[in-house]
Chains A and B, each alone.
Chain A
Amino acid sequence: MDAADEGELVRRIARQDRRAFDELYRRTAPWLEVRLRRRCADADLVAEVLQDTYLTVWRAAGSFAGTRNGGARGSAVGWLWTIAAHHLVDAFRRRARRAQRPQVPLMPATAPAAEDEVMAARIGQELEQALLTLPVEVRAALRATVLDGLSSREASVLLGVPENTVKSRVRRARIALREALS
Chain B
Amino acid sequence: MSTHPTLSQLDRYATGAPALDEPSVWAIEVHLEDCADCRARLAGSTTGDSRAVIERVAMNLAREIAASPAPDARTRPWSVLRHRWLVGTLSPWLAMTVAVLACAALLSGMRTGLPSLVLLIAPLAPLPGVAVAWHRRADPAWELVAATPAAGLTTLLRRTAAVLAFVIPALALVGAGTGVSLALTLLPCLAFTVATLLLGTLVGVHRAAIGLILTWVFVVVAPSLATARIPMFLQPESAGIWALTTVVLTVTAIFRVNGFRRLSRHG
Taking Cβ atoms with an 8 Å cutoff, the residues of A that contact B are 5-6, 14-16, 18, 21, 25, 27-31, 33-35, 37-38, 43, 46-47, 50-51, 54-55, 58-63, 65-67, 74, 77-78, 81, 106-113, 115, 117, 119-123, 127-128, 131-132, 139, 143, 147
Whose C-beta in chain A lies nearest to the C-beta of B46?
A: A30
Interface footprint category on B: 35 or more
CA distance A16 to B2 in the complex (A): 34
Given known A-B contacts A25-B61, A51-B61, A147-B30, A31 and B25 have beta carbons under 8 A apart: no
Given contact pairs A109-B21, A139-B22, enumerate 15 new A-B contacts (beta carbons under 8 Å). Answer: A18-B65, A27-B40, A30-B43, A34-B13, A66-B80, A77-B33, A107-B16, A109-B25, A110-B19, A111-B21, A112-B21, A121-B3, A122-B2, A122-B26, A123-B27
Q: Do the beta carbons of A34 and B46 come within 8 Å of each other?
A: yes
Asked whether B237 is an interface residue with its Cβ less than 8 Å from the other chain, the reply is no
CA distance A33 to B58 in the complex (A): 12
In the assembled complex, which residues on chain B have CB atoms less than 8 Å from the CB atom of A18?
65
Q: Which of B5, B24, B39, B53 contacts A31 (CB 8 A)?
A: B39
Q: Which of B2, B19, B32, B74 contacts A107 (CB 8 A)?
A: B19
Asked whether B60 is an interface residue with its Cβ less than 8 Å from the other chain, the reply is yes
Q: Which of A78, A115, A123 neighbours the largest number of chain B CB atoms within 10 Å of its CB?
A: A123
Q: Which of A6, A119, A132, A139 contacts B5 (CB 8 A)?
A: A119
Q: List 21 A-B contacts (CB under 8 A).
A: A28-B39, A29-B57, A31-B32, A34-B46, A35-B29, A47-B53, A50-B54, A51-B61, A51-B64, A55-B65, A66-B77, A77-B33, A107-B19, A108-B19, A110-B20, A115-B21, A117-B8, A119-B5, A122-B27, A123-B2, A128-B26
Q: Do the beta carbons of B50 and A25 come within 8 Å of each other?
A: no
Q: Which of A18, A51, A111 neighbours the largest number of chain B CB atoms within 10 Å of its CB?
A: A51
Q: Do the beta carbons of B26 and A143 come within 8 Å of each other?
A: yes
Q: Do the beta carbons of A58 and B71 come within 8 Å of each other?
A: yes
Whose C-beta in chain A lies nearest to the C-beta of B25?
A: A109
CA distance A144 to B3 in the complex (A): 24
Q: Do the beta carbons of A123 and B40 come within 8 Å of each other?
A: no
Whose C-beta in chain B lies nearest to the C-beta of A128?
A: B23
CA distance A120 to B4 in the complex (A): 10
Q: Do the beta carbons of A34 and B58 come within 8 Å of each other?
A: no
Q: Do the beta carbons of B19 and A109 come within 8 Å of each other?
A: yes
Asked whether B137 is an interface residue with its Cβ less than 8 Å from the other chain, the reply is no
CA distance A128 to B141 in the complex (A): 51
Whose C-beta in chain A lies nearest to the C-beta of B8?
A: A117
CA distance A165 to B42 in the complex (A): 34
CA distance A29 to B49 in the complex (A): 13
In the assembled complex, which residues on chain B have CB atoms less than 8 Å from the CB atom of A122?
2-3, 23-24, 26-27, 30-31
Q: Which of B23, B24, B30, B32 neighbours the largest number of chain A CB atoms within 10 Å of its CB?
A: B23
Q: Do the beta carbons of A30 and B22 come within 8 Å of each other?
A: no
Asked whether B143 is an interface residue with its Cβ less than 8 Å from the other chain, the reply is no
Q: Do the beta carbons of A5 and B36 come within 8 Å of each other?
A: yes
Q: Do the beta carbons of A61 and B73 come within 8 Å of each other?
A: yes
In the assembled complex, which residues on chain B have CB atoms less than 8 Å from the CB atom of A106?
16
Given known A-B contacts A34-B46, A115-B24, A50 and B16 have beta carbons under 8 A apart: no
CA distance A55 to B49 in the complex (A): 22
